[in-house]
């Protein structure tokens, strides 16, 4: 899985090592971190592109993110695609959660799913929330889910 920084710089280490190094560096600088993980997708013709982000928020001092993109030619129903976005976020959260526990970093999984029933993505809200909470992670949906609905969304477009 290839990850990069927002400026396009490739992350050479496995993502778990890169995140561990980042947390250690930020802590050495006296920074308190919060991490939000989210995925968004866009259908572009015959392809579906997914963008997963790990957003590091520095308390009172901005933030930065790591990005992973992937494309597939598989076609998905909207609910299936929303749940696949959540699964991609959970996969990364699960891989990294022991680091967050070890360093006392608060972490949330953000779902690009609307809480308003007038939107199609809302069909997946109950399952997504159950999946994320069932894995023991904090859950946010739109409009609070900025990691998926803003950060990952910008990477997909």
Q: What is the pLDDT along the chain (157 residues), one digit of tens a residue?
A: 799 999 999 999 999 999 999 999 999 999 999 999 999 999 989 999 999 999 999 998 899 999 999 999 999 998 999 999 999 999 999 999 999 999 999 999 999 888 888 888 888 889 999 999 999 999 998 888 888 777 766 666 5
SS3 call for 37: strand
Burial class (CB in 10 A: 0-12, 13-18, 19+), 92: buried
> Strand 106-114 to strand 33-44: parallel, antiparallel, or no bridges (unpaired)?
parallel
For domain 3-156, give its CATH number from 3.30.1360, 3.40.1350, 3.30.70, 3.30.420. 3.30.420
**Is this structure's pTM higher than 0.95?**
no
| Backbone angles phi and psi of 44, in degrees to 5 | -125, 95
């Amino acid at each position: 899985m290839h990850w990069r920084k927002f400026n396009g710089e490739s992350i050479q280490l496995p993502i778990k090592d890169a995140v561990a190094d980042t947390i250690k560096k930020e802590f050495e600088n006296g920074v308190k971190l919060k991490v939000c993980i989210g995925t968004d997708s866009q259908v572009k013709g015959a392809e579906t592109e997914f963008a997963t982000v790990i957003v590091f928020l520095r308390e009172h001092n901005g933030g930065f993110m790591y990005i992973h993109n992937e494309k597939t030619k598989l076609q998905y129903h909207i609910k299936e695609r929303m749940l696949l976005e959540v699964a991609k976020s959970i996969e990364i959260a699960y891989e990294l959660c022991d680091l967050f526990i070890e360093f006392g970093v608060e972490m949330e999984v953000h779902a690009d799913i609307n809480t308003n029933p007038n939107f199609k993505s809302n069909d997946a809200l109950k399952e997504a929330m159950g999946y994320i909470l069932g894995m023991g992670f904090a859950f946010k949906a739109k409009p609070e889910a900025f990691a998926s609905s803003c950060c990952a969304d910008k990477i997909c477009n």
